[in-house]
Amino acid sequence: MTTTELIEKAPCRAALLDAFSSYVSAQRGLSSHTDRAYRSDIEALLGFSVRHGATTLDDIDLRMLRAWLAAQAAAKRSRATLARRGAAARTFLAWAARTDRIAVDPSLRLATARVSAPLPTVLRTSAVTAVIEAARERAADGEAAHVRDWAMLELLYATGVRVGELCSADLRDVDLAERTLRVLGKGSKERVVPFGVPARAALVAWLDGARPALARPDSPDALFLGLRGGRIDPRQVREVVHSATAAADVEDLAPHGLRHTAATHLLEGGSDLRSVQEILGHASLATTQRYTHISAERLRSAYALAHPRA
């Protein structure tokens, strides 16, 4: 027996969204970013439904779901946005069915929008070396921010961590003796990632000499600090990476591009897919397999240039 959930009244709708957000964040372990995106998507779905005559959740049927997504497509929303909103609707309605808020889940027959997955941009080893060397030379002046930037670039490439994972890392998460970094990834899953000798050298320079210059009495235990002594944020890290690629005169790249580059170079160097999956913190091996396509493309290019009968 279902509990009728009114959606045309704003207070009822807000309570429903709050309950769904609690489920997304607490029980499914999705990130706060996904929680906000899903809540916004479902808020849009409920508003659309009310404007088209719905008063309760049971009034949302397959036809209404398709009309909602069709309206998004007509508004020129990207395929990625359509796919996410479809996923949000399925998650919401499945939850509503499980919690007896609706009798039948109408999203079971809702088609999934396919998202094109272009191969990520990666830098060649020589280009990455140029970027990091330029940062190291800049850090030779001893300025705290320059040393920090060098250490961040080394660690991003050495570990392949996400920019959010780097920003949320604390001092206790680094083990210089073992050369490992502990990070909290998507879904609140913790993993330990190794890094090499060059990254360790940059971290030692940052932790021993430069970080104390930026730290304030009220500074957090963050691994990396901003100029005012607070935890560095992703926007600042993106600016550092963009500036570094520009200074080295190589293809512009965001921090996630260094993650893609690290993964590709690991595979090209002989690492197996499972190991790379663990290093990157991918939930699915299919995500990691994308990088094998990049390696294959490079092999084809090299073959075409070198083989006389290519």
Of 13, 136, 148, 162, which one is the catalytic site residue? Answer: 162
186 has catalytic annotation: yes
d(CA 114, CA 235): 30
In 140-233, alpha helices (H): 144-159, 163-168, 197-205, 211-214
d(CA 65, CA 70): 9
Of 77, 179, 186, 298, which one is the catalytic site residue? Answer: 186
Contact 124, 164 (CB under 8 A): no
Q: Strands, DSSP E only, in the chain?
A: 174-175, 180-184, 190-194
- How many helices (H) and strands (E) the chain has is answered by 13, 3
231 has catalytic annotation: no
Contact 109, 78 (CB under 8 A): no
Q: Which residues pair with 193 in a beta bridge?
A: 181
291 has catalytic annotation: yes
**Phi/psi at 103 (5° precision):** -80, -40
172 has catalytic annotation: no
144-159 helix and 197-205 helix, angle to the nearest 10 degrees: 150
d(CA 262, CA 97): 42
Nearest to 154 by CA among 229, 270, 258: 258
Of 291, 303, 307, 309, which one is the catalytic site residue? Answer: 291
One-letter identity of residue 265: H
* Beta-strand relationship, 180-184 and 174-175: antiparallel
Long-range contacts of 189-196 (CB under 8 A, 24+ apart): 189/281, 189/283, 191/278, 191/279, 191/281, 193/159, 193/160, 193/161, 193/279, 194/159, 194/279, 195/154, 195/155, 195/158, 195/159, 196/158
Positions marked catalytic: 162, 186, 256, 259, 282, 291
